Structure 1
């Protein structure tokens, strides 16, 4: 089994958290105080992150194996099947996000199915060489990704009409709208999604600094996402940020660097890095869950059929952000993400306290 270093895992976790979230920020709550909701959700998610790491450090196996130990083999496998489909759905959901942006703005004439097939081929190719390769690539790409994001953040100040005054007044509608934005939407996306790394943690050479690096990921993610909200609203205003599907892309197109205008190529680079890492990790988690459920020693023969399933799901899921944002996301956050990201891990913790004497005996 190929292992990875904590810094490689940190790079993948960071790109997983920040990449797709910044690119596809579509006004989770495009208001002056949306950045407060992001920071509030980040702080609230820290105990959740501690729970994920605690469960892994206690059992030293991935999430589906913990489920079998805690609930028993039969019930554990049944819950693992739910997680398996959830991971594949999330891989398809991120793929669909990529397709939406590609076909609606960057590549309007490109066949959507061709782009989806390309993503699945790349995903299957990376998984053919184990997830450790993806994590190593993430550590190489992280400085490049951060450099490109920094360009957008810094040069957004040059956009005509840019003003921090656009983020005021905060708390204009009271605390309730901020709480509604933070819970459960921002809590589950992106912070709660970190639980998928419970399927990756066993790849670590040493888990000594796992909790410290995981906290660092949350801290940097929360700060960058909050600043991203401030930056977008300051650049294009609340109304425009609420109207467009991809405000970060809109900001990128408004930046002018000398002779360089409409920095679409910069956004494409960010999009490929930010989304591929997330698709690959969710697909890997689904494959490992499948391996655990059916007691398969090797999952590589499943790559093609699973890639086909993710491809099909990405095509048949919500055809437009006009459906996804107001309808699908709130329902998924409350009735799917919260149970799988929060409730089940808490149940695992409760079961651990009842069984801890037996586990340590």
Structure 2
């Protein structure tokens, strides 16, 4: 681990910006139609339940990152294999998010720039930040948090002033049954973005106030879930369900619809700024933990040296991951949740927690027995 510490507020901000990240790009929980915002809130509750699993693992091993405590739980050989698989998982997610933002940047602003160069420019900034360490990333996120909220409040104010909100577009809220909403929430939306919080098991040990982690984690997830739910409700209220689902980037379509006093319009810069903030934080967190985990598993003394090779692999994977953006999105909606997110976010953490529970109970029993034996020996004398 890097010799660094971050405050509770910095961790809260990192969680919030990370969760918002690429979730703002897509019509999140769009299958829920007028009730999409409710599906997001249900998925947020599921994400908080998952967080308690991660929090329980952290309590058993408060001074170890994920790639380290899996070896304590599973043994050195099997633990290294699982740790390495998690490193590949984090690199894969970094590549997916990089592809998301590279494609979006080309669509919105630079249509004639090759995807490789757009992604390369982005990953170089990420690598520079990763080399500087977790404290620099945490301080940067504090500045971005203020900017993100200023942009959001200004954005809401402009929408209200422009008079584009039509609350009737949100009716009927319960066109889809509650059971269907829960099914949607726990089959897709819980994994993206809420389940991706598992990446923070590589960051929790840096917290200088570990006793506050439960409140910080729940608070970060709740606030990001509320923001995402509100944004989706706003998309539907302004654009309607059909246009929201058909639009490649609903938030961009919404921002492009803003017109105030006949001159304040085409505010694409709002979307690009939010895009840069969310993309930068999310890709950097994934890349940082991939670098840290690789250094931990392979006993590399200076993790910063791995930033360039890991970043280069992420860049290449982001290009070859799919032949087109539509194929990339289809993979993310169909294959990734079931075959990648489910094992790494749910199944493996639950198994690790069960094994850790019995291992630690066995240790406690041995310790208690040892104390009893010592007490009996003293009384015998």
Does TM, scored on the shorter chain, surpass 0.5? yes
Contact 1:254/1:262 (CA < 8 Å) preserved in 2? yes
Written as runs of structure 1 = structure 2, the 5 A alignment for 1:337-356 is 337-356=341-360
Question: Separation in 2 of the partners of 1:96 and 1:147?
Answer: 27
Aligned equivalent of 1:101, options 81, 98, 104: 104
* Offset at residue 257 of structure 1 (A): 4.1
Aligned equivalent of 2:170, options 142, 167, 171: 167
Q: Structure 1 residues 278 and 359, CA, compared in 2 at 3 Å: closer, same or farther?
A: farther
Other structure's SS at 2:211 match: coil
Aligned equivalent of 1:306, options 307, 310, 325: 310
Q: Please give the per-residue CA displacement for 1:59-104, whole angstroms capped at 9, x wherever unaligned.
A: 0111111110110010000011111111001111110110121112
Question: Separation in 2 of the partners of 1:137 and 1:130?
Answer: 11
Question: Separation in 2 of the partners of 1:119 and 1:358?
Answer: 48
Give the TM-score, by structure 1 length.
0.95
**Alignment match, 1:157:** 160
Written as runs of structure 1 = structure 2, the 5 A alignment for 1:290-301 is 290-301=294-305
Q: Structure 1 residues 29 and 319, CA, compared in 2 at 3 Å: closer, same or farther?
A: farther
1:188 matches 2:191: yes
* Offset at residue 158 of structure 1 (A): 4.4
Question: Separation in 2 of the partners of 1:266 and 1:34?
Answer: 23
Q: Please give the per-residue CA displacement for 1:104-140, whole angstroms capped at 9, x wherever unaligned.
A: 2222122222111111110110011112211111012
Aligned equivalent of 1:31, options 13, 29, 33: 33
Contact 1:158/1:256 (CA < 8 Å) preserved in 2? no
Written as runs of structure 1 = structure 2, the 5 A alignment for 1:8-87 is 8-25=10-27, 28-29=30-31, 31-60=33-62, 61-87=64-90
Written as runs of structure 1 = structure 2, the 5 A alignment for 1:80-229 is 80-159=83-162, 161-229=164-232
Report how many residues are paired. Answer: 361
Q: Please give the per-residue CA displacement for 1:147-188, whole angstroms capped at 9, x wherever unaligned.
A: 112222332234565301111112223234423421221101
Greater shift, 32-41 or 150-159, is seen at 150-159
Other structure's SS at 2:4 match: coil
Contact 2:32/2:39 (CA < 8 Å) preserved in 1? no
Question: Separation in 2 of the partners of 1:191 and 1:115?
Answer: 27
Question: Separation in 2 of the partners of 1:298 and 1:126?
Answer: 15
Q: Which runs of 5+ in 1 are unaligned?
A: none
Give the TM-score, by structure 2 length.
0.90
Contact 1:42/1:187 (CA < 8 Å) preserved in 2? yes
Contact 2:28/2:36 (CA < 8 Å) preserved in 1? no
Greater shift, 281-290 or 106-115, is seen at 106-115
Q: Structure 1 residues 117 and 280, CA, compared in 2 at 3 Å: closer, same or farther?
A: same
* Offset at residue 210 of structure 1 (A): 1.0
Q: Which runs of 5+ in 2 are unaligned?
A: 368-381
Question: Separation in 1 of the partners of 2:53 and 2:96?
Answer: 26
Q: Please give the per-residue CA displacement for 1:227-286, whole angstroms capped at 9, x wherever unaligned.
A: 111100011111111111110111111112443311111211111111100001001111
